[in-house]
Every structure is written in C-alpha cells, then in structure tokens.
Homo-oligomer: A and B are copies of this chain.
Amino acid sequence: MRLARVAGTVVSTFNSPVFDGQRLLICDYLSPDGEASGGYVIAVDVVSAAPGETVLILDEGTSARQIMGIPGGPIRAMVVGIIDEIAYT
C-alpha cells in the first residue's frame, strides 16, 4: 500500500454496470514525508474520504474485489483507509 492525497472526483461514462454508484477519486501519490511524489491513481472510494485527506491506497484487483464484495468485478485500486498518524521512530 502507498500513501496518497485525495485531489478530486472523476465523472465518467461507463458501459459496465459495476461502476454504477461508485465514487471514483483521483489521488496524488505521496512520499513518506507527505510531499507529492509525481504519480497518481484513480481509485474506488470505500471510506468516504474527503478532498485533501491523506489516504491509504491498495492497488491490487483481488483485494479490491474482496472489499467490494464483487468477486469478478473490474476493479483494481481502492482507497482503503484514512491515515490518522504515521509514527517515525
């Protein structure tokens, strides 16, 4: 998993019903110190993350399908958590 910051929402026309009602977030990947690291991902949101929040991205299809409860669904990346704290020790 990697850190990212929610930048906005994506509205798209699909031809697959699996995306109906899903919220797609465009998220900028972050380095561990919270700076944008240059990449981004468009991910399905399951934690109701708000723009500007730091989130945890899980980029693996099997995992995403499991969390969504749709075994064969066309999904790969998800926002799975909202970061509360990173403790550097």
Contact = CB atoms under 8 A, between A and B. Distances in A.
A85 to B, nearest CB: 4
The main secondary structure of chain A at its interface with chain B is strand
Contacts of A89: 8-9, 51
B31 A40 contact: yes
A53 to B, nearest CB: 10
B86 A1 contact: no
Contact of A47 (B8, B15, B51, B72): B15
A26 B87 CA distance: 9
A74 B63 contact: yes
Interface string A49-76: 0010000101111111111000011111
Interface in A6-31: 7-16, 19, 24, 26, 28, 31
